[in-house]
Structure 1
Amino acid sequence: IRSRLTEFGLSTGPDFASGHLDELVSIQLLESREAEQHKRDSTRTASHEDSAPTNDVSPTEELLVQNIPAATGGVLSVTPEHSLDKAQSEMQANDYSQLAVMTGPRALVGTISWESIAKAQILQKGDTVLACMDPRPALVYAERPLLDIVPQVYSKGYVFVRDHTNVVVGIVTSADLAYQFALLTKPFLLVGEIERIVRQAVDRVFSVDDLFSVVPPDYDKEILGAQSLTLGQLQRLVEGAFARLGWRADRKIVIRELDAIREIRNDVTHFSPDPVSDEDVVRLERVLAWFRDLESSPADLADTTSSKPTMT
């Protein structure tokens, strides 16, 4: 998509690869010099890309603050002139730990939180938002890399988020951050365990010489075992000699599931901005349980472990 846009001198704002699937983007003109430079760069690398061996990965897209739904989900605010009762009531009604203090959509002047209220009451500062707010709110741009804001969220417990027009559009809390990382971590661990089982099964019955059958002829890296192959290469190896595994299962269904896992793996290991769906997580869990059962009691285990005949 990016190459085709650049070919016609176009781009999107914000970058189409950074947001959610349902986010609106605008088509913009690239500067002619930038478009020409990209065309030259693409031409120089085309032959290299065509000759490179196919792997299992897709281009990495950086995870940004705006990839967290809460970052652009709106923000509840009060003004400095509002009463403390109003701020506390809003926080209790919505189960919030803090509110933005604003005088306009782009004018964030502070934060009022249970902590700032407690400090103000100890010092008997007054009963208005202005008297109880923290005048130094944490504020970041939506396009900023997510990992860059972790220290701020850890320190403050939150950051407010503004878009490219400086409008405050959301808030990311430590709970939002923990939930996002949990969403990323579970599929990552499930895929890793599925890969481990497949590699274990391959190492059990295939020789190192067998593994060379699924790598390019000019492959110049050392192959020590199944860990040296990509998941796609393992899939082709298993597909070509499935009976060797001794798994009591239909070959086509196993290969179908391996292919699905490979596609999910691309999103998981390269942190696609759009999270792995609940359906895909359930699929990972089911395949993991199934593969564990298959590998725990393969047919003719004694025969397959006694020797590793070379593929013909």
Structure 2
Amino acid sequence: MSTQELDAIVAQIKSNKITSAPITPRDLIKAVGCTRRTSNCRKLVDHYLEENLVEVEPSYVDAWIDSEITIRHKQMATTKIDQDPIKKIMILEAANRKPTTISKNSTLQEAVTIMMMNDFSQLPVVSGERTVDGYVSWNTIGTALANGSTSKEIRNYINTDIKILHQDTQLLTAIKIICEHEFVVVQKNDKTLCGIITASDITSQFITITEPFLLLEQIENNVRQILNKKILLKDLKQSCSRDDNRPIDSIDDLNFGEYLRTMEDEKNWSKLNLQIDKTTFIKKLHKIREIRNDIMHFDPDGISPEQRTELQQMAQFLNSLNKINTSISAHSN
């Protein structure tokens, strides 16, 4: 095989026209100008493979020289989260609910009825599917009436200063605008309306995103409190037995898995003086650890309702457990 022939195969692999190709060790070393797999030859081959981000399987050095091996893309480290790292407002449920609107030719009575029936604070006023004329709200209606308006037409209660954002708008950018204007209307690429995001929606989303982290922090703090001043430092280090050189000088230096290993040690468990079943408790903490791993991977869909309930129940249980233990300690002293 010539260098040009090998280059052509590699070019097809790199352009994703093919995922891999068969080759023999003899062809590979021949393409770099060698006849034997000497140390100098291996340097040339390894340099070629490295430079072109390809690899062979099995090793061209260990395989029989005329056996068939595979040349392919070098396996790259990947992330499970392959989407755009910048969150857009399209991830919000509110940005994907077609909004209720009203025509500018409608009556004030119709607008008030719609807002009351749906518990809306504002209502976009439109002319067709793609033209937004503004909005009416309890504030715009109240202001107009306070200034003597007696009109029955909605057009006389419209505020034209309405903020319209594309569904690809960055979430953080949108939040600032929503905080200033209380709500925004969201448009698709074809300019049709696809949602309304209010300050209330942002608050709900914030709670949804942050609650698992806050619950985990609460759980970990309670676990630390359970272990606090109950176990000798040398026993703590022995239970964890790290392979690396990271020091353990306090309970705060432990990760979640190490909390579990510490409490699974029967010698340590007996010192905690917890009047609960060890097996059930540890099993539940293992489940919390698994949920914690999901949370820390920042899954865009978040955790499941069942996982959220698990966190809430465990946080509440640990709060109660620590209160009971504190009370028992106070009475015993």
Structure 1 length normalisation: TM-score?
0.65
The residue type paired with residue 137 of structure 1 is I
Q: Displacement of 1:77 after TM fit? A: 0.7
| Correspondence for 1:78 | 102
**Cα distance in 2 for residues equivalent to 1:214 and 1:163:** 53
Q: State whether residues 136 and 159 of structure 2, in contact with CA within 8 Å, keep that contact through their aligned partners in structure 1.
A: yes
| Correspondence for 1:152 | 177
Higher Rg of the two aligned structures: 2
Q: State whether residues 184 and 268 of structure 1, in contact with CA within 8 Å, keep that contact through their aligned partners in structure 2.
A: no
Q: SS state of the match for residue 264, structure 1? A: helix
Q: State whether residues 107 and 154 of structure 2, in contact with CA within 8 Å, keep that contact through their aligned partners in structure 1.
A: yes
**Cα distance in 1 for residues equivalent to 2:135 and 2:75:** 48
Q: Which moved more, 1:164-173 or 1:181-190?
A: 181-190
Q: Tell me: CA distance 1:139–1:224, structure 2 relative to 1, closer, same or farther (3 Å).
A: farther
Q: SS state of the match for residue 104, structure 1? A: coil
Q: Which moved more, 1:183-192 or 1:91-100?
A: 183-192
Asked if residue 211 in structure 1 is aligned to residue 237 in structure 2, the reply is: yes
| Correspondence for 1:308 | none
Gaps of 5+ in 1: 1-6, 10-35, 50-57, 302-312
Q: State whether residues 184 and 271 of structure 1, in contact with CA within 8 Å, keep that contact through their aligned partners in structure 2.
A: no
**Cα distance in 2 for residues equivalent to 1:117 and 1:275:** 39
**Cα distance in 2 for residues equivalent to 1:195 and 1:82:** 56
Gaps of 5+ in 2: 1-14, 18-52, 54-71
Q: State whether residues 178 and 199 of structure 2, in contact with CA within 8 Å, keep that contact through their aligned partners in structure 1.
A: yes
Q: State whether residues 239 and 265 of structure 2, in contact with CA within 8 Å, keep that contact through their aligned partners in structure 1.
A: no
With CA pairs under 8 Å and 6+ residues apart, which has the higher RCO, 1 or 2?
A: 1
Structure 2 length normalisation: TM-score?
0.61
Residue correspondences, number: 254
| Correspondence for 2:4 | none
**Cα distance in 2 for residues equivalent to 1:149 and 1:40:** 40
Q: Tell me: CA distance 1:96–1:289, structure 2 relative to 1, closer, same or farther (3 Å).
A: closer
| Correspondence for 2:288 | 261
Q: State whether residues 88 and 171 of structure 2, in contact with CA within 8 Å, keep that contact through their aligned partners in structure 1.
A: yes
Asked if residue 65 in structure 1 is aligned to residue 89 in structure 2, the reply is: yes
1:211-250 alignment runs, 5 A limit: 211=237, 214=240, 216-220=242-246, 222-241=247-266, 242-250=269-277
**Cα distance in 2 for residues equivalent to 1:137 and 1:154:** 13
1:1-312 alignment runs, 5 A limit: 43=76, 45=77, 64-121=88-145, 122=147, 124=149, 126-209=151-234, 210-211=236-237, 214=240, 216-220=242-246, 222-241=247-266, 242-266=269-293, 268=295, 272-295=299-322, 296-297=324-325
**Cα distance in 2 for residues equivalent to 1:95 and 1:107:** 24
Q: State whether residues 80 and 129 of structure 1, in contact with CA within 8 Å, keep that contact through their aligned partners in structure 2.
A: yes
Q: Displacement of 1:76 after TM fit? A: 0.5
CA deviations over 1:87-136 (Å, ceiling 9, x no partner): 22222222211111222333323222122233444274954333322222
| Correspondence for 1:15 | none
CA deviations over 1:182-209 (Å, ceiling 9, x no partner): 3344443332221112122334333444
Q: Tell me: CA distance 1:271–1:164, structure 2 relative to 1, closer, same or farther (3 Å).
A: farther
Q: State whether residues 201 and 245 of structure 1, in contact with CA within 8 Å, keep that contact through their aligned partners in structure 2.
A: yes
Q: State whether residues 106 and 167 of structure 1, in contact with CA within 8 Å, keep that contact through their aligned partners in structure 2.
A: yes
Residue identity (%): 25
**Cα distance in 1 for residues equivalent to 2:320 and 2:156:** 63
Q: Displacement of 1:292 after TM fit? A: 4.2
Q: How big is the alpha-carbon RMSD for the aligned residues of Structure 1 and Structure 2?
A: 3.9
Q: State whether residues 165 and 184 of structure 2, in contact with CA within 8 Å, keep that contact through their aligned partners in structure 1.
A: yes
